[in-house]
Amino acid sequence: MELWPWLTAALLGLLLLLRLHRAANFCARIALYCALCLAVSALASLVCLLRHGGRTVENMSIISWFVRGFKYVYGIRFEVRGRPKLEVEQPCVIISNHQSILDMMGLMEVLPRRCVQVAKRELLFLGPVGLVMYLGGVFFINRQRSSTAVSVMADLSERMVRENLKVWIYPEGTRNTNGDLLPFKKGAFYLAIQAQTCSCRPHRRPRCPSLSQVPIIPVVYSSFSSFYDISTKLFTSGTIRVEVLDAVPTSGLTVADVPTLLDTCHQAMRSTFLHISKTPQGDGAAEGSGAQAAQ
C-alpha cells in the first residue's frame, strides 16, 4: 500500500511534464495517435470482415466511422464548405493537399460514398493499418517502379467507371508543411482523362456523345501550422477549414491537355489554401508548377 503515494506522485509529475514541456507533450500525442491507429485498425478490420467478408469499397464507411472519433480525442474541429459537391452520382477523381499524418482525420471527415484512395505500397505492410486499408479497397502503388504504377492506374481507370467509384489522390505526392502547395504530379490528371470510356474507336473518343465524363473535384484543407508543427513540436487542439471547390470538367480533353488541366487545378487550390489559411503568398511552390513529373 505504501507504493500508492509514489505512483500517484509519479503520475502527477508525468502529467505536469506533458503540460509544461512542449516536446514531451508532442511525443506523447503522436504516440497516442499511432496507438489509436493500430488499435482502431485492428477493430475496424474485424468489423469489416464480419460485415462484408473481405475487400470492398463499402468497408470505407465503417473505417470512416471509427476514424471520425479521433477528433474528439484531440480537440480538432472541422469547418466544411461545399460538402454536397462530393456527392455526385458518377465516377470522379478527388484531389487534395497533403500535410501530415493528421490528413487521415480530414479525409474521413468528408469522405463521400464509394470512394477509394491511392496510397504508396509501403503502407500495405503496416500491420493492422495495412490490412484495414486493403479491406477498404485502397489501391497501392509502388512508386519505385513506374511500370507497375502505370499498370495499377490503368486498372483503376477501368474499375472506377465500371464500378462507379470515386478516387481520392494527393497530387503533391508527399507530405508538405512549408505553408504553400508543392508542384503537382500528373497521375491524377491522366487518370481522370483516361477513365473516359465509350465504345467508339480511340481516335473518336474525345468527340463521342456517349463518353463517360470523369471530372476532377479539388478539396483544400487549411494549414495545420497553428496547432500542429513538427519542427517546433507543437500539437494542440485547433480548427481545420475545408473547402470543396467546383468540379473541373474533363469533357473532350486528351492527354495533351494534362499540363493545362494540372495548372488550372493547382492555381485554384493554391489560391484557396492561402485564403483559408490566411498565409502570406510565397514564391516557392508556384515556380515550376507546369513541369511536374508523372506520378
d(CA 127, CA 136) in angstroms, rounded, equals 14
Please, what sign has the CA dihedral across residues 104, 149, 256, 211?
negative
Question: pLDDT in tens for each of the 295 residues of the chain?
Answer: 466 665 565 555 555 555 557 788 888 899 999 999 999 999 999 999 999 999 999 999 999 999 999 999 999 999 999 999 999 889 999 999 999 999 999 999 999 999 999 888 888 999 999 999 999 999 888 766 666 666 777 788 888 888 999 999 999 988 887 888 999 999 899 999 988 754 444 444 444 444 568 999 999 999 999 999 988 889 999 999 999 999 999 988 888 999 999 999 999 999 999 999 975 444 444 444 444 443 4
d(CA 198, CA 208) in angstroms, rounded, equals 8
Q: What is the CATH number of the domain that holds 135?
A: 3.40.1130
Domain extent, residue 224, equals: 22-277
Instruction: Look at the chain and report how many structural domains it folds into.
Output: 1
- Please report whether residue 289 resides in a domain: no
Residue 234 grid cell? 507543437
- Please report whether residue 16 resides in a domain: no
CA 223, distance to chain mean position in Å, is 14
